[in-house]
Amino acid sequence: MPTVAKIAATIALAGTVSGAGICVSAADPAPAGSAQRVAVIGLGGTIAGTSDRRTDLETYRPGTRPIGELVDSLRPEIGDVAAVSTEDFGQKGSGEYTVTDLYDLSQLVERRLRDHDSVVVSTGSATMEELGYFLDLTVRSPKPVVVTGAMRPWTAIGSDGPVNLYNAIRLAASDRTTCFGTVIALNDQILPARDATKTDSTRVHTFTTYEYGDLGTIDQAGIRVQRAPARVQRCDDPARWATPFDLTTIPRDTLPRVDIAQSYLDAPAEPITAAVGAKGIVFAGTPSPSQANAAMATKAITMVATNGYGSGAITVDPKMGVVSGGDLAPKKARLLLLLALSKTADHGQIVAWFRDYGNQQF
């Protein structure tokens, strides 16, 4: 496993070298004959979509093209980057997947990382930030995991799918994100799964990180890594680098239900009182008085407070018995709470996990 010193040196390496008129990042994988083995797993989505006309950028059938076909269209150039294997996990829109599907996907990624150097997951953008964060929390291997997709179908003029897939494989094969956890590569950007969020329903620059910025960029000149997720500092200590959420210790059929309650002016109590069967509730924004009263009267349900504004941390009075989500987005706090509740109902332990893994700092 790479040492922290090696990781730091890798992050710092941003120079380029040129030869034969082509600029290549000094940290990019060696072309032609590279031993890097990249497994590409397809889940469908827009990137694998088919439109009736090449000018149909927003109306198409998602998930109609197998991932092998998409990768083959990148040949022969992709062969200079890595030895690529492909398989389809599914072929549908990302909104059709479930948390148990993500459980199965995470275990598939783990299996592929046993005999590959890295994994690329190609999926739809609608739930990409949730998929990426679930993998970030559950994949035990420090090898690179890169999630990508597209905002325009593969068959459209100006599709961002081919370059996004090519760059995701290129990033995975470069080994630049070892110990970063899962990252998202879209629109020439490298984003941490924890912070990445979708902000636009149609534009190719839809993904951003609000407060903290990209990890780096990918372009013809090379891969530039400017910062790293905080967990990279634990690279030398696998027991501390990995989260407690080892899926081999969490039965698939015991994943608890966790709901999100959106807060707004005069928000009623019914969504709280109707959360029968839920083990946890994540509040997106400051609860209304009705929501707060209903929540405080609810027994055996763990509550997490998050911001509903896109950025900013939440501070909670410990006496209230509510877990602070810090600056985690509500959808991501839901996944962390779901995994935490699959391990324990202890309030103090859940608070510690949100602090140490949900809001990890240097």
What is the chain's length?
362
What is the bridge-based pairing of β-strands 207-208 and 182-186? unpaired
The answer, yes or no, to whether the previous bond of 76 is cis (omega within 30 of 0) is yes
Which alpha helices (DSSP H) does 238-307 contain, by range? 238-241, 270-273, 289-297
Cβ-contact 130, 95 below 8 angstroms: no
Report residue 329 as tokens: 């987005």
Active-site residue, selected from the candidate residues 46, 138, 178, 182: 46
Q: Is 338 in contact with 106 (CB distance < 8 Å)?
A: no
Question: Please, where are the H alpha helices in the chain?
Answer: 4-12, 67-72, 99-115, 128-138, 161-174, 238-241, 270-273, 289-297, 330-341, 347-353
Q: CA nearest 146: which of 107, 175, 126?
A: 175
Give one DSSP letter per residue of 5-61, joined into a string: HHHHHHHH---EEEETTEEEETTSPPSSS---EEEEEEEESGGG-B-SSTT-SS--B
CA distance 197 to 179: 21
Pairwise CA distance, residues 34 & 267, whole Å: 57
CA angle (227, 228, 230) in 5-degree steps: 130
Q: Is 315 a catalytic residue?
A: no
Distance CA 75, CA 98 (A): 33
| Residue among 328, 287, 285, 283 nearest 302 (CA) | 283
Q: Is 56 exposed, middle or buried (0-12, 13-18, 19+ CB in 10 A)?
A: middle
- Catalytic residues, by residue number, are 46
